[in-house]
Amino acid sequence: MSLIRFLNVAKEYPRGGVALNHVTFQVKKGEFCFLTGPSGAGKSTILKMVYMEERPTHGDVWINGLSIKEAKRREIAMLRRKLGIVFQDFRLLETRTAEANVAFALEVTGVARGSIRTKVARVLTQVGLASKGTAYPHELSGGEQQRVAIARALVNDPSLVIADEPTGNLDERATRGVFQLLREINAAGTAVIMATHNLGLVRRADLRTIEMNHGRVVYDSSDPVPEIGGGGDAETEARRAAAAAWRASAPPPPEPDLYDPLLEDEL
Amino acid sequence: MTALREALMAFRRAPLLSTLGVVTIAFSLFAFGLFGLVAVNIQEALHAVEEHVEIRAFLTDGTPIEAVSAAMGDIGSFPEVRSVAYVSPDQALVRARQELGDFSDVFEPGVLPASIDVRLKAGFRDPATVAAVANRIKSYDFVDDVRYGREWVEKLYKIRTLASLIGTGLGLAFAVVSIIIIGATIRIMVLARAKEISIMRLVGATNGFIRLPYLLEGFIQGILGGLLALGLTWTTCTAISHAFIKTAFFDPGIATFGVICGALMGLLGSGFAVGRHLRRL
């Protein structure tokens, strides 16, 4: 069964135009999937539908078998306990330590106090921050803050991690570290859907990639349909060409090998 | 338990806002309370004045005393009547002279007729009942005229109806304003913690869980505000009693009701504020 299933999804805002149009794709359990495309292409709207913060105006979305059309508020809350969400701006509480930020996700979902401490310690170790649990967010680097956010996303043992531009605010080195961490999480069986416009990152990792432009899926690496010249209407063809041009404009990767041994101490 | 701790923590985290909430509830209830005091005291005064509502039936000269006492027995058995008294011409003269003071010598003995003074039971002093009883008394042959201060009785009732209407209207207006102000203060608190709330939602906290601390906070603010208002009203009441005239205070039931109103206002205000914030998907 697919973990994420979008079927002919459209999203129109009353005054803001069309955010998504005819979006259809699936993500399987345990899969790693990039969502790329320029700003405004609809990546974040798709992710918001995955964690059911937005509803489509047409079509339907199923997450773990739950239809967004039929989902009740309580079901959405219960679904989110099985999702881990990571953002570009980390969204940590400045007044709480790293440990308390991670524990917060457990406290507000009614997990027994006794088991919180052990779980928090486990995920902080997993993200490589075992020694920084008592630090406040402003005392941590950007990369470390994002690791705390990832620890918070992991602490409920999610079946899917949703990452919206998780490396957008990070330098190259921290980007690689965070991406490596997400890949490790995926290797342990958790599906990851990651929106990014860091094309270097996408190119170097040979993973499932869905490319968006103007609210449409213009390329899906799991699709057998060829790229430019592959048919379809003129509009689709033009969008595909524009997306290909955008992809080609990305800077070349600075290093040939993504898994730099120098990173070992960072991970 | 966690919700209560969170609610109490809000007072520590944002003491100024919490105090603002408590003080606005206190002041609106205090205004309400002051008006209530006026209403209670008008009511008391009206009760005292109502005691004096009486029907005076003037008798024709030379009515035999037997007929008068038979009629008095009749009238006394009317369900509306509390007491019936006979006033002889001499007694009428004494009373008139007392009431007129310096002008007491305008009446000559024998000028004033005898009368039957009728007082009504509480609950039968409204204009319609008074008029009905007066008409019944007027049907006796020997009753020359009946006076009951028709206009006066009607005016009295109008004042009381008006006082209750204004009281209810102002009370409702004050309550609405308080709820809006409390809603606004809680909303500021909600907005101050918007990030925290959005994270709570993202990690799967239910709306009920998110709402509970704010509702408790509004409730506690309401109770504190209610108690503060009660204290302020009582202090004012005591001060007026000492300095001007003896003023009646609310009975314990109404005082408790006031505090409960404060709590409800706090609950409603915070409920609206958080509800509005959470109404998105």
Q: Are residues A103 and A125 in the same domain?
A: yes
Q: Are residues A75 and A172 in the same domain?
A: yes
Name which of A224, A218, A208 is nearest A244 in CA terms. Answer: A218
The answer on pLDDT for B133 being more than 60 is yes
Interface test with A, best of B12, B196, B198, B202 (most A CBs within 10 A): B202
Distance (Å, whole) CA A154 – CA A145: 14
Interface test with B, best of A95, A107, A108 (most B CBs within 10 A): A108
The answer on pLDDT for B152 being more than 80 is no
Q: Residue B5 to residues B9, B12, B24: CA-CA distances in angstroms?
A: 6, 11, 23
Residue A79, Cβ neighbours under 10 Å: how many? 20
Contacts of A73 in chain B (CB under 8 A): 206-207
Q: Tokens standing for B152?
A: 């006066």
Q: What is the pLDDT of residues B161-201, one digit of tens each?
A: 787 787 778 777 877 877 787 778 778 878 877 888 888 88
Residue of A nearest to B210 (CA): A108
Do residue A52 and residue B281 have CB atoms under 8 angstroms apart? Answer: yes
Q: Quick one: pLDDT band at residue B153, thresholds 50, 70, 90?
A: low
Do residue B204 and residue A110 have CB atoms under 8 angstroms apart? Answer: no
pLDDT at B121: 83
Total domains present in chain A? 2
Distance (Å, whole) CA B120 – CA B141: 22
Let me know if residue A263 belongs to a domain.
no
Q: Are residues A55 and A110 in the same domain?
A: no
Distance (Å, whole) CA A247 – CA A38: 9
Do residue A85 and residue B206 have CB atoms under 8 angstroms apart? Answer: no
Which of these three, A157, A181, A216, is where a domain ends?
Answer: A157
CATH number at residue A18: 3.40.50.300
Do residue B203 and residue A78 have CB atoms under 8 angstroms apart? Answer: no
Let me know if residue A184 belongs to a domain.
yes
CATH architecture of B54-147: 2-Layer Sandwich (3.30)
How far is residue A53 CA from its own chain's centroid?
14
Q: Kindly report the average pLDDT of chain A as a whole number.
A: 87
Let me know if residue A237 belongs to a domain.
no
Residue of B nearest to A83 (CA): B203
pTM over 0.80: no
Contacts of B2 in chain A (CB under 8 A): 107
Q: Are residues A150 and A199 in the same domain?
A: no
Domain of residue A39 covers 1-82+159-228
Torsion of CA A118, A123, A125, A131, to 10 degrees: -80
Q: Quick one: pLDDT band at residue A164, thresholds 50, 70, 90?
A: very high
pLDDT at A143: 92
Q: Are residues A175 and A43 in the same domain?
A: yes
Let me know if residue A178 belongs to a domain.
yes
Let me know if residue A144 belongs to a domain.
yes
Residues of chain B with pLDDT > 90, as a percent, come to 4
Q: Quick one: pLDDT band at residue A259, thresholds 50, 70, 90?
A: very low
Name which of A126, A140, A161 is nearest A98 in CA terms. Answer: A140
A7 φ/ψ angles, rounded to the nearest 5 degrees: -125, 110
Q: Quick one: pLDDT band at residue A246, thresholds 50, 70, 90?
A: low
Name which of B119, B116, B134, B130 is nearest B58 in CA terms. Answer: B116
Q: Are residues A123 and A135 in the same domain?
A: yes
Distance (Å, whole) CA B237 – CA B17: 29
Q: What is the pLDDT of residues B202-246, one digit of tens each?
A: 999 888 888 888 889 889 988 999 999 999 989 988 898 888 877
Residues of B with a Cβ under 8 Å from any A Cβ are: 2, 195-196, 198-207, 209-210, 281
Residues of chain B with pLDDT > 70, as a percent, come to 93
Q: Quick one: pLDDT band at residue A257, thresholds 50, 70, 90?
A: very low
Q: Are residues A69 and A23 in the same domain?
A: yes
SS3 of chain B: helix, strand, coil, percent, to 5: 75, 10, 20
pLDDT at A226: 52
Let me know if residue A25 belongs to a domain.
yes
Residue of A nearest to B6 (CA): A108
Q: How many residues does chain B have?
A: 281
Q: Are residues A99 and A60 in the same domain?
A: no
Distance (Å, whole) CA A130 – CA A98: 10
Taking the alpha carbons of B254, B259, B260, B262 in that order, is the dihedral positive or negative?
positive
Let me know if residue A172 belongs to a domain.
yes
Which of these ranges, B132-136, B187-191, B266-270, has the smallest mean pLDDT? B187-191
Q: Are residues A186 and A147 in the same domain?
A: no
Q: Are residues A11 and A68 in the same domain?
A: yes
Q: Quick one: pLDDT band at residue B135, thresholds 50, 70, 90?
A: confident
Q: Are residues A217 and A200 in the same domain?
A: yes
Of the candidates A79, A83, A108, the beta carbon closest to that of B200 is on A108
Residues sharing a CB contact under 8 Å with residue A114, sequence separation 6 or more, in sequence order? none
Distance (Å, whole) CA B270 – CA B198: 18
Residue B231, Cβ neighbours under 10 Å: how many? 12
Distance from CA of A264 to the nearest CA of B (A): 30
Q: b/e map of B88-100 (b: 16 or more CB within 10 Å)? A: eeeebbeeeeeee
DSSP state of B124: -
Residues of chain A with pLDDT > 90, as a percent, come to 66
Let me know if residue A94 belongs to a domain.
yes
Taking the alpha carbons of B241, B247, B248, B250 in that order, is the dihedral positive or negative?
negative
Q: Are residues A3 and A62 in the same domain?
A: yes
Of the candidates B195, B199, B206, the beta carbon closest to that of A77 is on B206
The domains of chain B are located at 2-48+156-278, 54-147
Q: Quick one: pLDDT band at residue A211, thresholds 50, 70, 90?
A: very high
